[in-house]
């Protein structure tokens, strides 16, 4: 008897959803990642992407990736620590550090690896990590891998954060970690108050800017820049898989911190180096971010239009104020059903269900790109209105 297979075979939740015709995952896209995609030969509007600036199909980004592949090949065949450092890695790291306002930066092969590697090694056994309960899974993984003490505070609740800081040893390191923009709810961390509390309790701050860069701040420099607290934040993390239209991630900080991470972060030292194409694509995306401010302007024009539209039709959208708009359904199966109905009507959105969120907090994640048109957005709003009415949600 194969005990492992017997144990794993008991997991049949996906099979049940497929049998009910509401399984929403692994939909195969047969086209480029744009505002309109093709799935099973059918055109649908994409409102489930993280490409906030719409750069995944930009000619300059694609050409940069192609040229880097021609020059450097398809991969580095080793880690950054050994044979996997290219001159373009170093160049991009210097640019990223300057972009987010820090002394130095290092790139990782994925954004997930940044959080898992940095958080797990930067504090010790006697130190404490204090974290927002709605942080991204990569942050939580890093915390689980850490040997430090862990204290969780209620989402964006500064009174809860202060109570947790009061529990910490005043003579040991205290690292507060949170998303700048929360990936599912779309709300923004209260960084000014977090900074105030960090100063009061002599704590340090790490901000995950995965969904903030390209969206908030001057030229898309992120949440820290948006609140003018860059100098008060110790570590700034970013990913290439959103606004940078690529794959990878980075951490930026002071030179001493980056030197330590360069020689201790296991997901950096023992992972294959980020590919030449990915680095070149991110570098080209950064160029566009700096030279085409109209992209961010249009993203916010669309965001305001969408937020007004959903509010006016009576949707429950929580505290979002960004291009990430949660449409709360508060029922797992109904969330899957509505995602299916919207897809059949030509709209691609993502379900967020238990255990990713509590069962009573299930939602549809509706996200915008700068390249969407008002006409596409209005079609989506009208379609969602009709389907939500059919299910008595508005």
Report how far residue 200's alpha carbon sits from residue 209's, in angstroms, rounded to the nearest whole number.
Answer: 24
Report how far residue 134's alpha carbon sits from residue 177's, in angstroms, rounded to the nearest whole number.
Answer: 11
Q: Which residues contact 114 (CB under 8 A, 6 or more apart)?
A: 108, 138, 237, 238, 239, 249, 250, 251, 267
Q: Sheet harboring 347-348: ordered strands across?
A: 36-39, 42-46, 347-348
Task: Determine the straight-line distance between the first and last CA of the chain, rounded to whole angstroms.
Answer: 52
CB distance 347 to 31 below 8 Å: no
Instruction: Report the chain's C-alpha Rg in angstroms.
Output: 21
Single out the residue of 305, 308, 318, 315 nearest to residue 372, CA to CA. 305
Alpha-helical regions (H) of the chain: 3-8, 13-19, 59-72, 87-100, 111-122, 137-145, 158-166, 191-200, 223-226, 255-264, 266-269, 276-291, 293-313, 332-344, 374-390
Residue from 89, 174, 211, 226 carrying the catalytic annotation = 211
The encoded tokens of residue 126 equal 């006697």
Max alpha carbon distance in the chain (Å)?
62
In the annotation, is 242 catalytic?
A: yes
Residue from 49, 183, 241, 273 carrying the catalytic annotation = 183
Residue from 136, 226, 242, 372 carrying the catalytic annotation = 242
Report how far residue 257's alpha carbon sits from residue 48's, in angstroms, rounded to the nearest whole number.
Answer: 35
CB distance 221 to 100 below 8 Å: yes
CB distance 153 to 160 below 8 Å: yes
The encoded tokens of residue 213 equal 């860069």
The encoded tokens of residue 104 equal 């130095």
In the annotation, is 91 catalytic?
A: no
In the annotation, is 49 catalytic?
A: no
Q: Which residues contact 183 (CB under 8 A, 6 or more apart)?
A: 136, 210, 211, 324
Q: Which residues participate in catalysis according to the annotation?
A: 183, 211, 242
């Amino acid at each position: 008897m194969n005990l492992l297979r017997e144990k794993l075979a008991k997991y049949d939740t996906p099979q049940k959803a497929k049998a009910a015709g509401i399984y929403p995952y692994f939909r195969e896209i047969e086209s480029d990642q744009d505002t309109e995609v093709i799935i099973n030969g059918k055109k649908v509007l994409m409102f489930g992407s993280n490409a906030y600036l719409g750069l995944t199909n930009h000619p300059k980004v694609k050409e940069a990736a192609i040229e880097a592949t021609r020059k450097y090949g398809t991969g580095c065949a080793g880690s950054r620590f050994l044979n996997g450092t290219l001159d373009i890695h170093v160049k991009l790291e210097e640019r990223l550090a300057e972009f987010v306002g820090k002394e130095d930066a290092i790139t990782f092969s994925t954004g997930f690896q940044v959080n898992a590697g940095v958080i797990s090694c930067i504090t010790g056994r006697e130190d404490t990590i204090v974290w927002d309960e709605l942080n991204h899974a990569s942050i939580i993984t890093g915390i689980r891998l850490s040997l430090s003490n862990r204290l969780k505070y209620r989402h964006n609740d500064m009174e809860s954060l202060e109570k947790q800081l009061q529990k910490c040893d005043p003579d040991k390191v205290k690292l507060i970690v949170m998303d700048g923009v929360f990936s599912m709810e779309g709300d923004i961390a209260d960084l000014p108050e977090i900074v105030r509390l960090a100063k009061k309790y002599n704590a340090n701050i790490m901000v995950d800017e995965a969904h903030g860069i390209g969206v908030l701040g001057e030229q898309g420099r992120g949440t820290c820049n948006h609140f003018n607290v860059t100098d008060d934040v110790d570590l700034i993390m970013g990913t290439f898989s959103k606004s940078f239209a690529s794959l990878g991630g980075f951490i930026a900080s002071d030179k001493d911190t980056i030197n330590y991470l360069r020689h201790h972060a296991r997901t950096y030292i023992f992972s294959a180096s980020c590919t030449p194409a990915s680095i070149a694509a991110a570098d080209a995306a950064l160029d566009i971010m700096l030279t085409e401010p109209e992209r961010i302007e249009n993203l916010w024009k669309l965001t305001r239009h969408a937020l007004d539209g959903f509010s006016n039709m009576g949707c429950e959208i929580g505290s979002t104020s960004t291009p990430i708009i949660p449409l709360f359904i508060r029922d797992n199966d109904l969330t899957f059903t509505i995602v299916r109905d919207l897809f059949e009507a030509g709209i691609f959105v993502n379900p967020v269900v238990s255990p990713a969120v509590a069962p009573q907090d299930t939602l549809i994640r509706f996200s915008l790109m700068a390249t969407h048109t008002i006409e596409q957005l209005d079609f989506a709003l009208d379609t969602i209105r009709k389907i939500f009415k059919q299910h008595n949600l508005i």
